[in-house]
Structure 1
Amino acid sequence: MWSRLLSPRVSGRASLYWRSLFTMQLKTSEFQSLFTDGLNGLAEVFEKHQHELRIAGGAVRDLLSGKRPEDVDFATTATPEEMKHMFQTAGIRMINNKGEKHGTITARLHNENFEVTTLRVDVQTDGRHAEVEFTTDWQKDAERRDLTINSMFLALDGTLYDYYRGYEDLQNRKVRFVGSAEQRIKEDYLRILRYFRFYGRVASEPGDHEPETLTAIRENGHGLAAISGERIWVELKKLVVGNHAAHLLELIYSLELAQYIGLPPDGDIDEMKRVWQNAKDRSPKPMTILAALFRSPEQVEKMDIRLKVSREEKNLALFLVKYRRELCKREDEPDSLKPFTDFIIDSRELDSQSKVCELLKYKGEEKLLSELSRWSIPRFPISGHDLRKLGITSGKEIGATLQELRDVWKKSHYQMDKDELLSNVKP
């Protein structure tokens, strides 16, 4: 049932807003599957000490969407000190105490780890970090979360506690901030990218944004400049392989955010939209989509300085920018893989086939991609040792001869064996 409560005034806003408590009972198979020996043991400890324990955040959203969550976070009214006492009394091992200052204790039961966090309220934020204090008020903890669909709790008896109409928004496939979008963003500017990422996961159509939300994002986008590149990259690479990625990247540019998150200010939007259309159904790597925005290797280098991507990701971007025009199928043999397999053979790099597969996704070459995915790199059957047996001892001559034989082998579509190839060597 719905019950309405008038909330306190939101800091920084002149008006009041309504919050609602919606409860329902969840009894799905996905929910029931969570109750392992470990979770049952955890629940017994909290029940014995009369502290509430609920599933929180994204796991609730997934369960309500009919999905079994990969990660399950828990919230509780117990303080970290109370949790430590409970677990020590029960002989439960605790690991990874780095989260304790934020209220998180990780307990290990039956070879499973359970992260449990004390309910919190933010007492001070700077757009990157928050100073928190603990509370026993579930509503206040929900209020400090970013999006309505992430602000729900689920008790272990299946009762849903929803204070900000997250369930309704999830059903209607709406993505909204809890309360004031501007306030939530100013608490942590990374929430701008989280909004886009969850929009791609939840919304059914592109462009179904609330105007006031986009206004708040535009007016506060500069705050992203102070967010670490590593945190931005975590969100960005999830965004670009989700639904509506082309729309969301174009929106990032129209809201003038690109300059703050490592993307080129003159990104090639048209190329990106074309590549996304080519690759979206073929599980592209995040950098395959983003590479379309870069007009030069220098822009890739600047992106890496800001985002600190992995070496593999950077090299893929540089490869795509360099070879998206150079490496292509031949006009006389449009269905032939040969230009691509020859490149892989010549490069002799372990990840060359993977890079070329991403290039084919980039280009939308579905047939060639399917063939290359099944292709195994053949082994060149000749070595320098074989040539020495024929009396060729000069290192320079061995190198030149090997290259000549490799060219002959490639022309044979890698079919010639060792004896056939050696027959081409002049004594």
Structure 2
Amino acid sequence: MLARIATREFLARKTFLHLISPSLNALVNQLHTMRLSEDQMAQVLSPEVRQLAQLFSSHGYELRIAGGAVRDLLMGKTPHDLDFATTATPDEMKSMFDAEGVRMINAGGEKHGTVTARLEECNFECTTLRIDVETDGRHAEVEFTKDWQLDANRRDLTINAMFLGLDGTVYDFFDGSKHLSDRFVTFVGDADTRIREDYLRILRYFRFYGRIAESADNHSAKVLESIKANAEGLAKIAGERIWVELQKIITGNYGGELLVKMAECGVGPFVGFPENFDCAGVKAVYRRCQEANIPTSEVHHMTLLASGFASEEEAIRFIARVKCSKRERDLLLHIIQHRDFALQASSFKEVKDHLVDIVIGERRNKDVGLFLTSELLKYVGRVDFLENLKNWEIPRFPVNGNMVGERGVPRKQTKVALRDILEEWKKSDFALGSEELLDRLDVKQYQ
């Protein structure tokens, strides 16, 4: 309801200023424009994009590139994805595409204003300018508009609220280009209002802070206060959506500092973190990676996040909240179970034994064993052991269950006997053969 009132107040204020004074209306719009160079535009003006732009123009509709691609171009990066905004409604787009023989896919986006056109094997998402007239912190009831500022006003961060005309003109209503130049991350308009429209924007703020900011702690105090006041709203957000954002925060710039800042803002319990999230542990694992020259981008997000959990029980509650994959779950639990061993390991022999326990003792896939062991070594910053691991081949275990049975061990005791033999094999640094190992077997203890 607050979001609906805020939208209506904005619309009413804008309409009123239109009527009484064009100059006052300009103060509301605060539109700034600039032109990108031909070289910059060449990064997005593919033949297919030109064809799409010509199609909209010939039918009397405006089409601009929106959001992240504009931000990336201004930062000197080549955009990977292009999203388009248009004054055409979904029905008008469908009619236009039908008339031009353009194929359309993903019809499910139409209720939100998005029509996806396919031109020359390329998909283009084109979304009608929208106003959020009512939100519940997760979903929005939208109305279509032809006003570019109103659409910009509903977006999350100023750096994501710019449009790019296909002639190279950047349209910036909320100082996004200046904030980008200053490496400053803030919300469009009132932070409380933006967050309450979609509480996931709290995590998007931290993710983009990691991408844009030039220092770890240059947050707006007002933004942090709004996050603290609204953190509880994240409880409404699906775990899958939370996990997508968290992964990018964890392995991005200032990942450790941002996790700590999130905990300080009270975000943790609502995204699955324990009440006593181990901020000191988080700082320590990021510090170890830095000291060992291991880029966090090369460390699995679960490896880094494990540092915040004191126990398996805490980790299991987090897993249930975010609904992560089995591979991610196994890694998180493995790190927590074995990190004390890894921190104390003084020889590569211990690392080899650990890998053998996984692959031979637990009968797990070799690649899985190498993955779990490598991430454990990254967690403790042991690049020396990591390098040795790359050059070490797991030897073939020389004993099997049939051999043990032939020596007189009852079938129900086979696993126990093999476990004991494995320990003897490890003690020999994998040097003993099958006969030597079997000769050491005390069959009587298994009777």
Cα offsets for 1:63-99 (capped at 9, x unmatched): 2111122221111111101111111112111111111
**Separation in 2, partners of 1:423, 1:362:** 37
Cα pair distance change 1:128/1:400, threshold 3 Å: closer
**Separation in 2, partners of 1:33, 1:318:** 44
1:4 corresponding residue in structure 2: none
**Separation in 2, partners of 1:325, 1:129:** 44
**Separation in 2, partners of 1:150, 1:223:** 22
**Structure 1 residue 185 corresponds to structure 2 residue 195:** yes
CA contact (8 A) 1:60 1:154 kept: yes
**Separation in 2, partners of 1:365, 1:28:** 48
SS of aligned partner of 2:31: strand
1:362 corresponding residue in structure 2: 379
**Separation in 2, partners of 1:67, 1:23:** 20
Cα pair distance change 1:301/1:406, threshold 3 Å: closer
Following superposition, the deviation at residue 253 of structure 1 comes to 1.8
Work out which of the residue numbers 252, 259, 266 in structure 2 matches 1:242: 252
**Separation in 2, partners of 1:62, 1:380:** 53
Which one-letter code corresponds to 1:295 in the other structure?
A
**Separation in 2, partners of 1:10, 1:371:** 63
CA contact (8 A) 1:78 1:118 kept: yes
CA contact (8 A) 1:405 1:421 kept: no
Work out which of the residue numbers 341, 365, 378 in structure 1 matches 2:355: 341
Following superposition, the deviation at residue 46 of structure 1 comes to 1.3
Cα pair distance change 1:27/1:343, threshold 3 Å: farther
SS of aligned partner of 1:240: helix
Work out which of the residue numbers 180, 194, 199 in structure 2 matches 1:170: 180
**Separation in 1, partners of 2:140, 2:93:** 22
Cα offsets for 1:302-342 (capped at 9, x unmatched): 112222222222221111111111345544x3687434433
Cα pair distance change 1:391/1:362, threshold 3 Å: closer
Work out which of the residue numbers 109, 118, 142 in structure 2 matches 1:99: 109
Which has more helix, going by share of residues? 2
**Structure 1 residue 156 corresponds to structure 2 residue 166:** yes
Structure 1 portions without partners, runs of 5+: 1-6
My pick for the range that moved more, 47-56 or 26-35, is 26-35
Which one-letter code corresponds to 2:247 in the other structure?
K
SS of aligned partner of 2:258: helix
1:284 corresponding residue in structure 2: 299
Cα pair distance change 1:402/1:126, threshold 3 Å: closer
**Separation in 1, partners of 2:42, 2:391:** 40
* RMSD of aligned Cα (Å): 2.9
**Structure 1 residue 304 corresponds to structure 2 residue 319:** yes
**Structure 1 residue 145 corresponds to structure 2 residue 145:** no
SS of aligned partner of 2:30: strand
Cα pair distance change 1:268/1:399, threshold 3 Å: closer
Which one-letter code corresponds to 2:55 in the other structure?
V
Following superposition, the deviation at residue 144 of structure 1 comes to 0.7
**Separation in 1, partners of 2:412, 2:214:** 63
**Separation in 1, partners of 2:86, 2:381:** 49
Cα pair distance change 1:335/1:151, threshold 3 Å: farther
Cα offsets for 1:189-213 (capped at 9, x unmatched): 1111111111111111122111111
What is the aligned length? 414
**Separation in 2, partners of 1:139, 1:27:** 24
**Separation in 2, partners of 1:181, 1:251:** 17
**Structure 1 residue 371 corresponds to structure 2 residue 388:** yes
Following superposition, the deviation at residue 412 of structure 1 comes to 5.4
CA contact (8 A) 1:103 1:118 kept: yes
**Structure 1 residue 45 corresponds to structure 2 residue 55:** yes
My pick for the range that moved more, 229-238 or 342-351, is 342-351
SS of aligned partner of 1:256: coil
1:353 corresponding residue in structure 2: 370
- TM (norm. structure 2) is 0.84
Which one-letter code corresponds to 1:87 in the other structure?
F
Which one-letter code corresponds to 2:170 in the other structure?
L
Cα offsets for 1:85-126 (capped at 9, x unmatched): 111112111111111100001111111111110111111111
**Separation in 2, partners of 1:391, 1:182:** 74
Cα offsets for 1:199-231 (capped at 9, x unmatched): 111111122111111111111222112122221
**Separation in 1, partners of 2:228, 2:115:** 37
Following superposition, the deviation at residue 171 of structure 1 comes to 0.9
Identity of aligned residues (%): 45
CA contact (8 A) 2:335 2:376 kept: yes
Cα offsets for 1:166-205 (capped at 9, x unmatched): 1111111000111111111111111111111111111111
**Separation in 1, partners of 2:306, 2:38:** 41
| Equivalent residues in 2 for 1:212-291, closer than 5 Å | 212-279=222-289, 281-282=295-296, 283-291=298-306
Following superposition, the deviation at residue 372 of structure 1 comes to 2.4
| Equivalent residues in 2 for 1:44-83, closer than 5 Å | 44-83=54-93
**Structure 1 residue 122 corresponds to structure 2 residue 132:** yes
Cα pair distance change 1:407/1:109, threshold 3 Å: same
